[in-house]
Amino acid sequence: MYDLIGIALIMVVVVSISLVTLALFVSRASLNRNVWLAGFFVNILDFFYLPIKAIFQKYSDTQKLERWMVSLKNMAHTSAFKKTKHRLLLAPHCMRSLDCPAASTMYGIECISCGKCIFSKIKTDAERYNYTLFIVAGSSYVRHIIKKESADGALLLACHYELNKVMRSLKRKNITTYGVPLLNDGCYATEVDYSKMIEVMEYFNT
């Protein structure tokens, strides 16, 4: 009896390691080409995320893992995101001007289109493509927002780590996500590839 349990456990471990290894290979490949079963491999990486991240912290770079996972999730979510009707645009406050005069609420920074940073343009773009813009300073804001808004989709602007974190969180709320990575990390003066963001909005608006 105990022998059978031991054999079963060994098989589970071997299969799990094999699936995780394959999922990592597929996620890395998704950076350059379309891959099959993206959604299936996303679920594997999400399920084993913490132990995988621990391994990357010790032997590699966690930024690679986050970048691969975001790429794979974007690929897996493309079809479902196209079908969403009420979309949020969640952007980080670190993109705004250091002289930003806008007030902060429980739902984020309320852009007043002062022209001091790119959010003046992004606010207009969000309205044009039917997104509800929220400029947030952390995940606690996102929790308030999704309680307020009955959204089924969210376009995210953030660093790869935050993208993956929010994607995993909103997945549990049945909100389909798509991420546009920032060009640089940091707590201020971060930037997004504006043309890429517009390209994504245009694609999902057709």
pLDDT band at 111 (very low <50, low <70, confident <90, very high): very high
pLDDT of residue 40: 97
Report whether pLDDT(175) > 90. yes
Tell which wins on pLDDT, 138 or 178.
Answer: 178
pLDDT band at 196 (very low <50, low <70, confident <90, very high): very high
Contacting residues for 151 by C-beta, under 8 A, at least 6 apart: 84, 86, 87, 88, 132, 175
pLDDT of residue 163: 96
pLDDT of residue 173: 94
List the one residue out of 63, 23, 67 whose CA is nearest residue 44: 23
Tell which wins on pLDDT, 9 or 64.
Answer: 64
pLDDT band at 6 (very low <50, low <70, confident <90, very high): confident
Strands (DSSP E) found in 22-170: 87-92, 104-105, 108-109, 131-136, 153-158
Q: Which fold has domain 84-206?
A: Rossmann fold (3.40.50)
Q: Where does the chain hold its CATH 3.40.50 domain(s)?
A: 84-206
- Dig out the tokens for 44 from the structure: 């594997």
Report whether pLDDT(124) > 70. yes
pLDDT of residue 139: 78
Which amino acid would we find at residue 169? S
Contacting residues for 179 by C-beta, under 8 A, at least 6 apart: 70, 73, 74, 155, 156, 157, 158, 163, 167
Report whether pLDDT(2) > 70. no
pLDDT band at 169 (very low <50, low <70, confident <90, very high): very high
Q: How confident is the model over 163-175, as a mean pLDDT? A: 96
